[in-house]
Amino acid sequence: MNMYQGVNFIELPPHIYAVADNAYRVMCTERNNHFILISGESGSGKTETSKKILQYLAMACPITEKLHTIRDRLLLSNPVLEAFGNAKTLRNDNSSRFGKYMDVQFDYKGAPAGGHILSYLIEKSRVVHQNQGERNFHIFYQLLEGGEDHLIRWLGLERKPENYSYLIQGECAKVSSICDKSNWKLVRKAFTIIEFTEADIEHLFGLVASVLHLGNIKYEEDSHGHAIIRNGAQIQWVSKLLGVPVSILQEALTHKKIEARSEQVLSPLNLELAYYARDALAKSMYGRSFTWLVNKINGSLANKEPPKKTVIGLLDIYGFEVFETNSFEQFCINYCNEKLQQLFIAMTLKAEQEEYETEGIEWEPVQYFDNKIICDLIEEKHKGIIAIMDEECLRPGEATDLSYLAKLEEKVGEHPHFLTRKLAGPETRKAIDWVDFQLIHYAGEVTYCAVGFLEKNNDLLYRNLKEVLVKSKNYILRDCFHASELDNRKRPETVTTQFKNSLTSLMDILMSKEPAYIRCIKPNNDKKPGKFDDMLVRHQVKYLGLMEHLRVRRAGFAYRRKYETFLERYKSLCPETWPNWSGPAREGVERLVKYVGYQPNEYKLGRTKLFIRFPCTLFSTVDAFEMKKHQLVSKIQAKYKGCLGKRDYLKKKKTAIQLQSCWRGVMARRAAKKRAWAAQTIRKFIIGFIDRNKNPNNENINFLHMMHYNYLMKLKDHLPKHVRDKTWLQPPTAMTKTSELLHKLCIRNLVRKYCRSITPQKIEQMRQKVVASELFRGKKEGYEQSINQPFEESRLTDQDISPKVHQLMLYDKMKYGIAVTKYDRNGFKARPRSLVLTQTTLYIVEQVKIKQKIEYTNLKEISVSNLSDGFFVIHVSPEDNKQKGDVVLQCDHIIEALTKLSMLASKQDAVNICKGCIKFNFQNKNAVIDFTTAAEAQVYKAKNGHLTVTSPRLKS
């Protein structure tokens, strides 16, 4: 398939795929409908050829989502139709016992869009009778061999075909070359793909099984010579499967309803008529269910989209048949082949030669046999064999097959292609029986047995049997037999008339399409591969007219098209004809072929058409056109893209201008509205400014809001930074009260913020500062200068005190320590000491010694001058015998040291600030310290024996 896809017709050896590919490619490029006529004898391979073509089309089509579904349904419709419509014959193990024409529909992309099948004249008589060595339709054997156990039980069947009368008449129930079991699986799979429901399958096989049960119904004759059914087992199954009451079905199979004026009478049937009624029912049920099956498949293949489609038709119809005994079915089949041969001749040999003469092309006619004379013999109105057969079927009185044969001898006896025993000469008379007639077909002589012709042509089903089937619960049967048939009193058309009309319709369908032909040659009659019977092959080549056809093709032209069509398709190959040619089409084609480079022997110009002799010339033109098409497509694409780009640009430009215009209008309206609003607002604010000191009203409320807002926004940037910052923004008159409240709130927040930021150490220090303030503010010089100096926790560290001293202090923790100068009792000599304060005791320390220890309980008073000196006297209680008297000390941070001492001793009231002098006791002796001011600080012992301390006056 891959090898032949897209390849020119003559590049590879002839093949089925080459024909299919050529038809498909021409259909896609020229958008016209095609059909492929597959002809040949029975068993020559027509059905297999149609399968191969379908497989190729499925592969060659572009892959779409829909392709898989349509492809599967097209391919799997074949096994179903073959199962129900094909059978083993003497010539062929898979012989088509019906005609099939299938249209495969394609969309504009070349993808399959659907399909439709037409069926022709299924051989219903095979249901009830088969010749020796032949079988019934495949489906019966497939069902018995491969059917599921539950299905077989439900249908009341047995797996042995030998148990069924309709399956054993050819004595060939089993065939080694046919595997019914595997074919059954394929059919079941196909049912699923073709959208058969379980109910459809159940009712369909109910009909198939009913036919088998009908064949096993046996009649017996009663005392009156009437047919009766004694064993009701088979009819019980038929009743169940068809859904009709047993009594009604049994009555219909043993009686015939006769209508006389307004009355209806049931007339008992004899054995012969009863068997006829049974077989007629089986044939009618099977034949109509086959039609229903085809319609069901068509429903699944139907194209659901409305646009017009192109099609490729496949005609796979029964081939020419010649058996030892040829009956009505062979007559219809061979008549069909005559019509197809006539079509072949008309569309090839005859039409082509007539076309050359009409177009004025030099031509030497090729002689051929025209089988129109045989077709006329069979189908001519009022004179043909079919017309005579219908006349015999419809005429009043008792018509028999012999009377029909006599009428044929009378009407067409002189025809050169018709012969009976009576009309035959002495040499051929022995080969023809008294009930036979012989037709000389295009494929040779065929002798037909006229017995049963009239009966099969009538194909009548008793009215009361139709009434039973119309009321069946099997919906397939109800679809096949409509109640309207019972109301129609008109006699139905005969089988041959229906067949002739359907063939005429088929010919019209085929004539409307471009043809392609596949002639199947049967190599031998033994159904063996690799064996060629020369006589058989020559015979087929001769009657198929292949030699004459080859002569016409060889001498003729491979391609012909009207000038207008050819010029319209290939005008792009010549600059003079592209894009449009204004002159006569013939002149345009002449210039085109000369420009392309055709040689004089490669083509001819007719009156209305161009004729190309060699396929290679056409293929080179097609290849050039394909290359040119790509160039043109590129130009068209570029032009179209430019057009789209320009169109898109203009559209955007127009849209942009509209947007700009609308936006400018919006902006202008906004600006005008804003100006009006601004003017109104300004006016309102001017009035508000004038009335700003009045109570809020509609006139001044907005201005007041703005004034409040502006004041608050300014105030936000001018808030006090700390508690002592007394600045505050001057408020408008209307916000005086609000400003006061905000000021209080702000100060309160600053205070809260400040309070939250104070650490415990700072709180303690402030407590000490408060105590210092209570003790010294306004009483002692130097206090103001000490305010900004924070108190130290201690002026000495533990490392500044000797460990021995710590040991002597019994490791009492030092709370405060400072370096001091002590003035002793012997001439007030200055001695450097350390003052150490603990929680309960005061220590005066000299390096590693404790010079004096005073407990706070024995501390009587602390005296300090009001000047800026650093002297203070610690008075001890006289009852403290351990002390030698009061202690005179001097230090740099006197306010800090005395504040710490008074707080630790809890004797703030004991601090006494003296003016002029301080008296103290020293070893039971009274002494005085005089304090004076001078230019510089001095400490000395005066002549009066007092300790004199001078200090400079501080600037306040």
Please identify every residue annotated as catalytic.
42-43, 47, 92, 95-96, 319, 321
For residue 106 the two structure tokens come to 């394609």
Q: Do residues 178 and 146 lie in contact, with contact meaning Cβ atoms separated by under 8 Å?
A: no
**CA separation, residue 125 to residues 131, 287, 544, 843 (Å):** 11, 9, 29, 148
Nearest to 104 by CA among 291, 295, 301: 301
Q: Give the pair of three-digit tokens for residue 546.
A: 């292949």
Spell out the alpha helix ranges (H) of 302-412: 328-345, 351-359, 372-379, 385-394, 401-412
Whether the CB-CB separation of 436 and 259 falls below 8 Å is answered with no
8 Å CB contact between 23 and 32: no
Is 945 annotated as belonging to a binding site?
Answer: no
Distances (CA, A) of 895 to 111, 793, 830: 114, 14, 21
Nearest one of 826, 316, 814, 332 to 520, comparing CA atoms: 316
Beta strands 859-865 and 418-420: pairing type? unpaired
Picking from 368, 340, 339, 338, the residue whose alpha carbon sits closest to that of residue 352 is 368
| Distance, CA of 751 to CA of 728 (rounded, Å) | 16
CA 165, CA 153: separation in Å to the nearest integer?
19
CB 715 within 8 A of CB 729: yes
Q: Rounded to the nearest 5°, which phi and psi values hold at 236?
A: -65, -45
Which region holds residue 137: left if phi is over 0, alpha if psi is between -120 and 50, else beta?
beta
> 448: which strand partners?
326, 437
> Exposure of 424 by Cβ count < 10 A (0-12 exposed, 13-18 middle, 19+ buried)?
middle
247 is in an annotated binding site: no
DSSP state for residue 494 in the 8-state scheme: P
Whole-angstrom Cα distance, residue 45 to residue 39?
Answer: 9
Q: Is 299 annotated to bind ligand?
A: no
Closest by CA to 887, choosing from 825, 836, 943, 933, is 825
Please state, in angstroms and rounded to a whole number, the distance separating the CA atoms of residues 700 and 698. Answer: 6
List b or e across 374-393, with b for residues whose CB sees 16 or more CB atoms inside 10 angstroms.
Answer: bbebbbeeeebbbbbbbebb
Query: Is 802 known to sit in a ligand binding site?
Result: no
- Please check whether residue 483 is in contact with residue 298, taking contact to mean a CB–CB distance below 8 angstroms: no
Residue 110 among known ligand-binding residues: no
| Token pair for 442 | 């295009």
- CA-wise closest residue to 100 among 456, 502, 480: 502
Does 77 count as an annotated binding residue? Answer: no
Q: Are 201 and 155 in contact (CB under 8 A)?
A: no
Pair of tokens at residue 341: 């041969």
One-letter amino acid at 294 equals: V
Residues 495 and 121: beta-carbon distance below 8 Å: yes
DSSP-assigned states of every residue in 523-556: --SS--TT---HHHHHHHHHHTTHHHHHHHHHHS
Closest CA to 140 of 329, 290, 242: 290
Residue 346 CB-density burial (10 A; 0-12 exposed, 13-18 middle, 19+ buried): middle
Residue 773 marked as a ligand binder? no
**Pairing of the two strands 816-823 and 609-612:** unpaired
DSSP letter at 953?
Answer: P
40 is in an annotated binding site: yes
Element at 913 (helix H, strand E): strand 911-914
Q: Which residues are annotated as a binding site for ATP?
A: 40-47
Q: Which residues are annotated as a binding site?
A: 40-47
